[in-house]
Amino acid sequence: MVDQTSQFYAILTNVGAAKQANADALGIAWKITQMGVGDANGTDPTPNATQTSLINEWRRAPLNQLKVDDKNSAIIIAEQVIPADVGGKWIREIALYDADGDMVAVANCAPTYKPLLSQGSGRTQVVRMNLVVSSASNVQLKIDPAVVLATREWVTEELARQDFKHSVLAATTANINLSGLQTIDGVALAAGARVLVKNQTAAKDNGLYLVVASGAWTRCGDADSSAKVTPCMLVLVERGTVNGDSAWQLVTDAPISLGVTALAYEMAFGRTGVATGTYRSVSVDAYGRVMGATNPTTVAGYGLTDVYTKTQVDQSLALKAPLASPVLTGTPTAPTPAAGNNSTQLANTAFVQAAISALIASAPGALDTLNELAAALGNDPNFATTMTNALALKAALANPNFTGLPTAPTRPRFTADTTLATTDFVQSRGVQFNTFAASNQAGTYPGTIAHIGGVVHFWGDAQMAYTVPNSATTGAAMGAVVRVHNWSTGRLQITPQGSDKLQEGSAYAASNAARTIPSDTFVDLLHIGSGVWIMHGSGVDYLRVPWTKVTNNVGYAFSPSGMLEQWGSVSMVAPADALQVNVTFPLAFPNACLNLQTSIGVDIVDYDENAAYRLCKQQIHAGRPTKVGFEGQAIMDNYPDQSRVVKWRAIGY
């Protein structure tokens, strides 16, 4: 009978001690994966190193937590959470099993009854074993991520390790005494207030603190260890004249040893002291924040040194003649045009004298020539102006600046030379991704000609479908591309219209045959002519190589149709005449488990080895499966000393 003299402890079994010694010798970590509990058939058990099984185990499940004790590195803490809907039995013995299924540790415990919800006193039970090992570094501290239950302590500890911390009431602006009640940045602090200390002379003392009314401040629980104070840690400040409504980031690089490493915080965002307004000149810090702003009105105000000031420009312009009707002073000169020149070039006195002399020498025939020239020019008295206006409507050969909507011939596809490219040529080159469309509604989203050369995004959690633009009605040219991106949480069905077809690899499906791509994938639909759209992208990779995963006797497999098949087994350790079968699927079905099959048989490879095996009677009862698993009961009508195995197979989508 258990009393005040009873001793409760955990030991390695002979198998566990051998595996620990092997791990120490070879440096190869061994993995503890499951914990079993039993009622020892109502006795008060004593752990025995020769044990290979519990006296009467009634539950075995994956560990919820496996870690090294913070205070003693030679102690490993293994923990399992038993849900409120499991129980109705006593717990007197505990065992740990490794990845090979061997029992490596056994312990006794003070008898505790685990009630069921139906008894009116259901509770979540945490079973913990502290095990002393020779070297915790040779034990792989890893648990199955499929385990969904966690203790409050574990959740709190994990949250404390996150980079984003709970906000603080105020933040310091100078070095302070980390003790007692005081006012920080205009905020009177009460006991228990959270404060960001960032300006200490000894930067190792910076961090998040809780105010203590009449004593030294303590570091906040979410930032009181090196593991919780990590680079890029971010904290918001609620109040303060200078730092209110700002965010501060730890910019010290790893490794960080709290209380030893100097901690530096910089403002990530918040007030910079620049008033709201429009400015012509600003200064920006490393985070892109405007730290200073001005409205200069002079060149010097902008810091420009290679331009003229207004005064200098005015002085230079005053020395120049206007283009229209210039009034020249002094004795202006100009180059002498060539003899016979007839243009708007200035004629100097030398040109005029030469022209008059030539005219006199050739008279009167020269006068006839002048009359003929005037007739050829249409007797336009404003010929110079007319020519100037006509030239103004022409583009320069060098750097022409066209207006309106100039056009040019479309060059053949894939031309690569210095000829002009029209918009038609650019569009025919392939993917442009210059337009975007999106839908988060259930049902079908029809593709249009506007989607060609663009991206269609889908998101949300509803079942959605996309129909490819009909090449016959939209006139989709060869080389037209539409990218379809599935950002939704479900699958996206892609269906061609009319007689169009989708091609994957070397063959294409019949007209209107749809394809389905999973979440977080994309497909580029490339029209190669004749209504055939080739599919490229991560969504096609998924369709061509279905994702399958197998882990020992438990596994699952996806099919391109979206169906998910899962399987596994549960061993029943003899002697036992009944076993609760509680199975958690490796993956939760996204929508529903449609079918569940279970079977039970003797856990032996050579069935014909013993005639008694054929006399063993057993049966398995299973309840309706959920998305995440099922519950059942295995019963042995006779030969309880023969081990049984329950096999299950579930199909859903």
Q: What pLDDT, in 10s, does the model give residues 603-645?
A: 888 888 888 888 889 999 999 999 999 999 999 989 888 888 9
Q: Which of 150, 40, 146, 47 is nearest to 96 (CA)?
A: 47
Q: Would you say residue 607 lies in a domain?
A: yes
| 274 assigned to some structural domain | no
H or E element in which residue 284 lies: strand 281-284
pLDDT at 173: 95
CA 224 to chain CA centroid, nearest Å: 29
Given 269, 293, 323, which residue is the final one in a domain? 269
Residue 183 lies in a domain: yes
Do 98 and 186 lie in one domain? The reply is no
Please check whether residues 565 and 539 belong to one and the same domain.
Answer: no
pLDDT at 50 over 60: yes
For residue 153, the model assigns a pLDDT of 58
Q: How many residues does the chain have?
A: 653
Looking at the structure, do residues 15 and 151 belong to the same domain, yes or no?
A: yes
142 and 204 share a domain?
Answer: no
> Does the residue 63 lie in any domain?
yes
Name the burial class of residue 416, with classes exposed (0-12), middle (13-18) and buried (19+) by CB atoms within 10 angstroms of its CB.
exposed
pLDDT tens digits along 560-584: 567 889 999 988 888 888 889 999 9
SS3 track for 77-98: EEEEEECCCCCCEEEEEEEEEE
The verdict on 81 and 113 lying in the same domain is yes
Do 525 and 553 have their domain in common? no
Instruction: Assess whether 225 and 242 both reside in one domain.
Output: yes
pTM exceeds cut of 0.75? no
Last residue of a domain, one of 544, 563, 584: 544
Domain that holds residue 497: 427-544
Same domain, yes or no, for 241 and 135? no
Are both 530 and 466 inside the same structural domain? yes
Q: How many domains, in total, are found in the chain?
A: 4
Q: pLDDT value at position 167? A: 94
- Is 305 contained in some domain? no
In a domain, 348, yes or no: no
Residue 360, domain member (yes or no):
no
Q: Are residues 14 and 129 in the same domain?
A: yes
Q: Are 606 and 641 part of one and the same domain? A: yes
For residue 415, pLDDT over 80 is answered with no
